[in-house]
Amino acid sequence: MSGASDGRAAVLLLSGGLDSYTAGAIARDEGYELHALTVRYGQVHAREIAASRDVAQDLKVVRHIELDVNLAAFGGSALLGEGAIPKARELDASDVPATYVPARNTIFLSLALGWAEVVRAQALVIGVNALDYSGYPDCRPEYLAAFETLAALATKAGVEGHPCRILAPLLHMSKSEIIRHGITRGLRYELTHSCYDPDPSGRPCGACDSCRLRARGFEEAGLDDPVFRAWPRP
């Protein structure tokens, strides 16, 4: 099969944020060769695309694909330009926020699964987290288990007895634990971008869910966020 890997391979969903960066580093350190997939889906925080390139280079991935799938044509999310990005929202609220993108992880994992068959990857790596997150339904353990079952049923590799696993090494970690794992691996978090509503220069807003979860994680880890070496703290 053209483009197939002879080693232990995984397709990493890489957003340019600290979670996908850390998940990729953990998979790399477990012996996987990484093929990184970044989806340009019409997100208003397109600054993360540039960050994904820096992160992919730092992880020394085999190949980095940036794929255009314009979910903004459907709409349905503040991250796709419909309405304002929520600020100062209660982080532990149980409602699904306006930044939820309909079926995003299902779409992204499906795309990654297609590439995984081509390169004969044994795993899909995703940086979802079920503790310090914004309440998205497609970040839950039962969702990932269901997708892994789907992958086994819906692919040639699966029916031939070589199903693709879902690796979500951050699933049960707090944000501070994720950051500590990355720091011990020498990760350069100044390369990453988390903010949903950066200014034109890329400076984080400091008030969206993603900024505040990141800030809480660094604070609880007892560390300074290196992203603010480039910008004053909001």
CATH number, domain containing residue 17: 3.40.50.620
Alpha-carbon distance of 159 to 17, in angstroms, equals 34
Q: Please check whether residue 183 lies inside any domain of the structure.
A: yes
- Using the predicted structure, report yes or no on whether residue 225 has a pLDDT greater than 80: yes
Residue 4 located in a structural domain = no
Structure token digits, residue 149: 């079952």
Out of 28-42, 44-58, 199-213, least confident range: 199-213
Q: Which residues contact 223 (CB under 8 A, 6 or more apart)?
A: 179, 183
User: What does the DSSP 8-state code read for residue 138?
Assistant: G
Q: Residue for token digits 């580093």?
A: 25
CA distance 61 to 14: 11
Q: Which of the two residues, 232 and 179, has the higher pLDDT score?
A: 179
Structurally, the chain folds into a number of domains equal to: 1
Q: Is 2 helix (H, G, I), strand (E, B) or coil?
A: coil
Asked if the structure places residue 233 within a domain, the reply is no
Predicted pLDDT of residue 167: 97
- As a whole number, mean pLDDT of residues 104-114 equals 97
Please, is 163 exposed, middle or buried when counting C-beta atoms within 10 Å of its C-beta (0-12, 13-18, 19+)? middle
Residue 1 is predicted with a pLDDT of 30
pLDDT of 231 reads 66
Domain that holds residue 186: 9-228
Domain membership of residue 180 (yes or no) is yes
Quickly tell me which residue has 């699964």 as its tokens.
113
Asked whether 106 and 147 are in contact (CB, 8 A), the reply is: yes
The pLDDT of residue 52 is above 60:
yes
pLDDT over 90 percentage in the chain: 83
Residue 163: inside a domain: yes
Confidence of residue 132 (pLDDT cuts 50, 70, 90): low
Q: Could you tell me the pLDDT band of residue 130, with boundaries at 50, 70 and 90? A: confident
Does 166 map to a domain?
yes
Q: What is the mean pLDDT of the chain?
A: 92
Per-residue confidence at 6, pLDDT binned at 50, 70, 90? very low
pLDDT higher at 2 or 179: 179
Is 197 a domain residue? Answer: yes
3-state secondary structure of 167: strand
Q: Is residue 117 part of a domain?
A: yes
Q: What distances in angstroms separate CA 156 from CA 18, 135, 164, one per listed residue? A: 33, 33, 10
pLDDT tens digit sequence for 17-46:
999 999 999 999 999 999 999 999 999 999
